[in-house]
Structure 1
Amino acid sequence: MLSSQSAAVVRATLPVVGAAIDEITPVFYRRMFTAQPELLRDLFNRGNQADGTQARALAGSIAAFAGMLVENPGRRPDAMLARIAHKHASLGITADQYTIVQRHLFAAIAEVLGDAVTPEVAAAWDEVYWLMAGALIAMEARLYAEAGVADGDVWSQWKVVGRLEETPDVATFMLRPADRSPSPPFKPGQYVSVRCPLPDGANQIRQYSLSCAPNGTDRWISVKRVNGTGGAPDGEVSNRLHANVKEGDVLTVSAPFGDTVLDDGESPVLLASAGIGCTQTISMLAHLAATGSPRRVVVVHADAAESTHPFRTELGLLVDKLSDAEAHIWYEHPENPRPSQYTGLADLAGIDVPEGTRAYLCGPVPFMSSVREQLLGRGVAASRIHYEVFGPDLWLASTT
């Protein structure tokens, strides 16, 4: 909770800082990467830096946190903080790095706002920063402890024991600990980070859902090749993995993290995905089938066409194993004759959504936003709708 003096200053200056935050964050990243270029090379996603999405996500989270501190001082945005903490843990972020961020962030604030940043204003916003940072450091420490690793020590070597081509642009890599140690447990819906060496010497990190755990040791990840459109560059990590990683190779992989996980209750479940977002759905379905769950399960998936739909056969097999499950699949450009109601974009109007449903969404933000709006309109409480985004979460502050 902010001190009363700082709360008054933050409340008075929030409009000014909020209006300038989109200008402050690019300056912050420029200053930090100039001082410590290894952070851009080996920690931050260079693609998200180039298109500005990381800066916009940071701006949104800071503004949302500060706004909540002054408007709802007795409440903390734990959903937002948990999402950030899990992502940080998957990258191996440590407490000392928050000092680096603070130094460059406040230098950027001073550069952009100039004389408006009085000592009193700087002190108040420093308090905001350390309240947010302190909460994240504590959450991340708990996540590391739960994973059984020292703070930041999340990386280990995994051998590729097989590769499957799911579609022309999706490959599944079957992984096993290179040292034959036990695999860390994971919850259905969690992801791992993969650190990928690139030709220019960088080690870029990306997150991938654990799509399958067929035995007690192996873990599978499924990677969609990102082909740049509209002037956007191709995904440098996904294309590198597709082009170069084969059976027998070794990958550097993190422990599993992620806050969008299947609950252990008995309520009905709706799993909604689009494109490669089906990896989360498959993980949750596999768990439900393996445990013989009697829960009511509704699966919603949208894809471009049959040939681009990963795990199309597996989805049907898993649904058939469950005692009370059904799947609804839409193709925007179907390659075979298809009922008109399942052609085009996903529309939940004709689907029964049982009372008490808990929903899990994974896919492009426009798809998840549409499904969320439809579910809210059907009476599903916002607190029972969970989602996963890979990359900077530009949706986070608006749904917290």
Structure 2
Amino acid sequence: MLSEQSSATVHATLPAVGAAIGEIADRFYERLFAAHPELLRDLFNRGNQASGTQRRALAGSIAAFATHLVERPDERPDVLLNRIAHKHASLGIAPEQYATVREHLFAAIAEVLGDAVTPEVEAAWDEVYWLMANALIAIERRLYAQHGDGRGGWRVWQVVERVEETADVATFRLRPADGGPLPDFRAGQYVSVRVELPDGAHQIRQYSLSSAPGSPVRQIGVKRVRGEASGPDGEVSHHLHTRVHVGSTIELSAPYGDLVLDDTDAPVLLASAGIGVTPMIAMLEQLALTGHRAPVTVIHADRSPADHALRADHEAYAAKLADAAVHFWYEQDAEGAGRPGRADLSSVTVASGTRAYLCGPLPFMRAVRGQLIDKGVAPADIHYEVFGPDLWLAQG
């Protein structure tokens, strides 16, 4: 809980900090990478840094946390904290790295806001930072302990099968290279993949596990990220598509992620767009394996049927359920394969008491969430997964 004095100071300075978030973030990363270039090489997403999308994430999450402390002082933002902690644990973040971040972040704030950062203002924001940092450290410590490893559980896995799902999506099926047991996970979780690139950098990305727990292999679906005006081609996805084949080895973290399929007898709705299909397929397979009896509604939106990865799995697992309805939307070539345009739930029946799980671009999830609430689904029963630097923006 934020002290009363600090709360008043943070409340008064939030508008100035919020207005300068972009400039603060730029200065922070410039300082951080100048002092610790290894962090850009081996931890931070170089593609997101190059395009600028990553730079708002850290400062933005702290501002979001501060806003929550001021507006709801008796309630800790556990959803935000848990999501960030799972992401950090999948990267192997260590407690001592929080002090490093604090040093360069507060130096950047002082540079940008100048004389407005009085000792009182710095002390108040320092309290905010360490409330958030210590909460994350505690959650991450518990997550590491669950996997019996101090830092993320990195392990070498071998590709035993590769399937070209679409022109830009490949499924990789993997087993531990040491022949040891597979770690447990829950449907909806993801792993980090760490690869060594030609320049010697070690870059990390997260990919959802796209098969249900209990499978003799672990399965991930990787979409090749093609550079557009906003940034370069995806380094890791390009590496996996062009250099990783049957017999290749890659490093995987232990499984993480707090968007998981609950053990429930309630109706379930699984909504995805694009590569967001991967955790939804794992959940759908899990529902089929456990013989879920209540209604299951499957929603998916994509550019075209040819771009719809794992469509056959979507249909096959749904067909095994006692009561399932499948709805596909395509922006192109929809005739005979689905509905034209973007996902629109206005004509979709949603059973009372439905628990909904969403994964895809933020605009898609916000639109679907709004339609589900209009149909009577409780906001507390709508769960969603966000990857990348937009994670903190999805707390609304």
TM-score, normalized by the shorter chain, greater than 0.5? yes
| Residue 55 (structure 1) shift | 2.0
| Residue 397 (structure 1) shift | 4.3
Q: Which residue of 1 aligns with 2:281?
A: 282
> CA separation in 2, counterparts of 1:250 and 1:140?
27
| 1:274-300, Cα deviation, whole Å (9 max, x unpaired) | 111111111001111111111211000
Q: Which residue of 2 aligns with 1:184?
A: 183
Alignment of structure 1 residues 140-155 onto 2, 5 Å: 140-150=140-150, 152-155=151-154
1:359 corresponds to 2:375? no
Unaligned runs of 5+ in 2: none
> CA separation in 2, counterparts of 1:370 and 1:45?
28
| Residue 231 (structure 1) shift | 5.1
> CA separation in 1, counterparts of 2:340 and 2:152?
47
Q: Which residue of 2 aligns with 1:36?
A: 36
Where 1:212 maps in the other structure, the secondary structure is coil
Among 347, 356, 359, the residue aligned to 1:350: 347
> CA separation in 2, counterparts of 1:360 and 1:380?
12
Query: How has the CA–CA distance of structure 1 residues 308 and 77 changed in structure 2, closer, same or farther, with 3 Å as cutoff?
Result: same
Identity of aligned residues (%): 63
Aligned pairs, how many? Answer: 396
| Residue 216 (structure 1) shift | 4.5
| Greater mean alpha carbon deviation, residues 202-211 or residues 369-378 | 369-378
Q: Which residue of 1 aligns with 2:254?
A: 255
> CA separation in 2, counterparts of 1:3 and 1:399?
24
> CA separation in 2, counterparts of 1:213 and 1:183?
13
Query: How has the CA–CA distance of structure 1 residues 37 and 295 changed in structure 2, closer, same or farther, with 3 Å as cutoff?
Result: same
> CA separation in 2, counterparts of 1:398 and 1:220?
27
| 1:125-144, Cα deviation, whole Å (9 max, x unpaired) | 11110000011011111111
Q: Which residue of 2 aligns with 1:399?
A: 395
Q: Is the 8 A contact 2:275 2:360 kept in 1?
A: yes
Length-normalised TM-score, structure 1: 0.96
Q: Is the 8 A contact 2:10 2:124 kept in 1?
A: yes
Q: Which residue of 2 aligns with 1:312?
A: 311
| Greater mean alpha carbon deviation, residues 59-68 or residues 86-95 | 59-68
RMSD, matched Cα: 1.5
Q: Which amino acid aligns with 1:327?
A: V
Q: Which residue of 2 aligns with 1:134?
A: 134
> CA separation in 2, counterparts of 1:386 and 1:40?
31
Alignment of structure 1 residues 364-379 onto 2, 5 Å: 364-379=361-376
> CA separation in 2, counterparts of 1:153 and 1:288?
28
> CA separation in 2, counterparts of 1:338 and 1:248?
36
> CA separation in 2, counterparts of 1:153 and 1:241?
21
| Residue 68 (structure 1) shift | 1.6
| Residue 215 (structure 1) shift | 5.0
Q: Is the 8 A contact 1:213 1:220 kept in 2?
A: no
Q: Which residue of 2 aligns with 1:83?
A: 83
Q: Which residue of 2 aligns with 1:62?
A: 62
Q: Is the 8 A contact 1:161 1:247 kept in 2?
A: yes
Unaligned runs of 5+ in 1: none
Q: Which residue of 1 aligns with 2:234?
A: 235
1:383 corresponds to 2:380? yes
Q: Is the 8 A contact 2:362 2:394 kept in 1?
A: no
Where 2:88 maps in the other structure, the secondary structure is helix
Length-normalised TM-score, structure 2: 0.97
Q: Is the 8 A contact 1:297 1:324 kept in 2?
A: yes
> CA separation in 2, counterparts of 1:308 and 1:5?
54
| Residue 58 (structure 1) shift | 2.1
> CA separation in 2, counterparts of 1:153 and 1:285?
27
Q: Is the 8 A contact 1:190 1:257 kept in 2?
A: yes
> CA separation in 1, counterparts of 2:121 and 2:135?
22
